[in-house]
Structure 1
């Protein structure tokens, strides 16, 4: 199936609590208009869906047919979304302020994985303390770079080094009173 990546992206964002069900329906409509799916009943039913309750079981069935469970885990969903957010941040369509809420939502949704702790924390600190901007950006680049190359959580974890994340700490000195 061509363009499964677009549907996978939509599905993974749903798994993280960022619903965009209409883009899934649009995907199915486009596939049918180009006659790319033949008579796949799930795609036909997805294209006709008008309620969110109809969409997610169909999307899940379609995605599960083409990808294994390791490629659609919540951690992979988070990692791939972080890659997208990093690209958006670099293009200035996301800011530290807009990212903070998203990172904490993902962090809590995933039951606080250690690999995401420094990124979420540094983002929060960078919203109030300018000297945390560089450590935040360093950690953001590091995590998104690892996830851009990983297809599964295991692939990510093999490359992830907590010491590198720990090194993305602000170098600040308290103000001394004379």
Structure 2
């Protein structure tokens, strides 16, 4: 099915608390418009959904049918999302303040992954302490670049260095 990865990404964002249900409904409407729903009634029902409560279980059922629920890897989706957020930040569509909220939610929902420690911390500090802006941007570039090129969580982890992340800190003295 075309663009099922797009629906999986939207579901991840919804599940992490940083997305909205409407893009998934729009996805289903587009499938109907293009006559790509086949005999999947969950897609038809998703197109008619009006709330997160209606949409979420339908999205999950669609992903289970077409990908298998194990195909949705939260770490990988989070990493790809961070790469997209960096592009949005560089384009001026995201701010340190808006990123801080998103990174905090991801950090907690993903149960505190090591690779997100310095990014989340530096972003939080940069909202109030100007000296942290540069370390935040260095860490953001580092992590986002690794995730952008990663083909799997294992691929990312083989290239990620906590030592490099730790070097992205304010230098006093």
| TM-score normalised by length of structure 1 | 0.87
In 1: Cα distance, 2:66 partner to 2:142 partner: 29
Can you give the 5+ residue segments of structure 2 that lack an aligned partner in the other structure?
none
Runs of 4+, deviation exceeding 6 Å: none
Aligned to 2:144: 144
Please say which of residues 21-30 and 39-48 is displaced more in the overlay: 39-48
Residues 145, 135 of structure 1: CA spacing in aligned structure 2 closer, same or farther, 3 A cutoff?
same
Aligned to 1:49: 49
The structure with the larger Rg is 1
Residue 168 of structure 1: SS of its match in structure 2? coil
Aligned to 1:176: none
Aligned to 1:60: 60
In 2: Cα distance, 1:90 partner to 1:132 partner: 17
Aligned to 1:159: 159
Aligned to 2:106: 106
Note if 1:76 corresponds to 2:83: no
RMSD (Å), alpha carbons = 1.8
Aligned to 1:116: 116
In 1: Cα distance, 2:66 partner to 2:83 partner: 22
What does 1:1-80 correspond to in 2, within 5 Å?
Answer: 1-67=1-67, 71-80=71-80
1:132 Cα shift?
A: 1.6
1:142-171 deviations in Å (ceiling 9; x for gaps): 111111122432222122111111111122
In 2: Cα distance, 1:34 partner to 1:53 partner: 26
- Asked if 1 retains the 8 angstrom alpha-carbon contact of 2:122 and 2:136, the reply is yes
Residue 23 of structure 1: SS of its match in structure 2? helix
Aligned to 2:129: 129
- Asked if 2 retains the 8 angstrom alpha-carbon contact of 1:16 and 1:77, the reply is no
Residues 70, 143 of structure 1: CA spacing in aligned structure 2 closer, same or farther, 3 A cutoff?
farther
Q: Would you say how many aligned residue pairs link Structure 1 and Structure 2?
A: 173
1:53 Cα shift?
A: 2.3
1:38 Cα shift?
A: 2.2
Aligned to 1:87: 87
Residues 73, 157 of structure 1: CA spacing in aligned structure 2 closer, same or farther, 3 A cutoff?
same
1:73 Cα shift?
A: 2.3
Please say which of residues 55-64 and 82-91 is displaced more in the overlay: 55-64
